[in-house]
Amino acid sequence: MTRTVGEPDMNPATIMRLGSAFAGAKVLLSAIELDLFTELAKRPLTRAEIQDVLKLHPRVTGEWLSMLVALNLLRRDGEVYRNSELCDRFLDRSKPSFAGGFLQRTNQVLFPAWVYLTDALRTGEQQARHIEANDMFDTPYQDPEQVEAFLTMMDSLTSTIGAQLGEAFDWSTVKTVTDVGGARGNLLSLLLKQHEHLTGTVFDLAPLKDPADKLAKERGLADRLSFSPGSFFDNDLPQADVLMIGHVLHDWAPEERQVIVDKAFKAVNPGGAVLVYDCMLADEEMDLAKLTISIHMKLMTPGGEEYPISEGVELLENAGFGPVEAHELGAIDTLLIGWKQA
């Protein structure tokens, strides 16, 4: 059988690979769960040594390691396995550059939720009810291990954004800043290290006060970084020259987003600004990563989603901010800067 020039290749292999792409994802997620990359960062190991250190059964381990090699996550030299350069830098839990926190949470919560995508398509409802750790905002705080997993995830998401925000906005005339929903203060601590004239407050739920106080002390910021416990919907936000609302609004339905932004307007000092960043969507968005994150939010929350940039601008303008500027922030986020007139 021949194929004419210009005729598309009708081989189903591409479709079959896509349909089983979950396998590669789970191979990586299990490696993170088992701390394989952290162990291999200490020294290269043979298959038998890996099985012994990680307490693995030999029946599946060989193919699993071979898949990690095929995915360029591990290197194999004879009988010995070692991390790829990328994994050694970002998936070794002992390094400050560890970025596996989000993937840990993906393994625990998001991966199981995607099993129920068909149900979500039929009902429009969140699917987190099927998962043991099924509440993004209450359940994690009831278990110390889940608290640490949640905070590690948040730290991995904010570590790069801290430096980016430090450069994306002119902080020279700012004295005080509040990070709304700032977890234990990782991002704000990075910003305060970068701009030593700033004083900051993290506003988040009360169970995070102790982790936040501990982080501030460990980073030598106890005199400049404080924690204010509260809820977006039940409490006023701490007053400051600049309020940051990052990766927060996408957790909520449109009317709830407006409530949060309205409260931010009241809390920003005259002449100050609100900084909102999320993985916002363009009109007719076709970016696979952004669309994936938006479905993440719809699976995990009753009303959350990634929202269009134009909708974000409208939220700020409705609250009274203006003018509103939109800027790219890193590889995937959009930063909105809304000014409050003096």
> b/e map of 5-40 (b: 16 or more CB within 10 Å)?
eeeeeeeeeeeeeeeeeeeeeebbbebbebbbbbbb
Beta-bridge partners for 242: 177, 273
Cβ within 8 Å of residue 69, ≥6 positions away: 75, 76, 81
Q: How many whole angstroms separate alpha carbon 313 and alpha carbon 338?
A: 8
> What backbone phi and psi angles, to 5 degrees, belong to 98?
-55, 125
Active site annotation includes 250: yes
Q: Which of 130, 197, 247, 250 is catalytic?
A: 250
Whether 99 contacts 153, CB under 8 Å: no
Cβ within 8 Å of residue 251, ≥6 positions away: 136, 137, 297, 301, 304
What single-letter DSSP state applies at residue 169? S
Q: How many whole angstroms separate alpha carbon 253 and alpha carbon 238?
A: 23
Enter the tokens of residue 267. Answer: 């809390």
- Whether the link from the prior residue into 323 is cis, omega within 30° of 0, is yes
* Catalytic residue IDs: 250
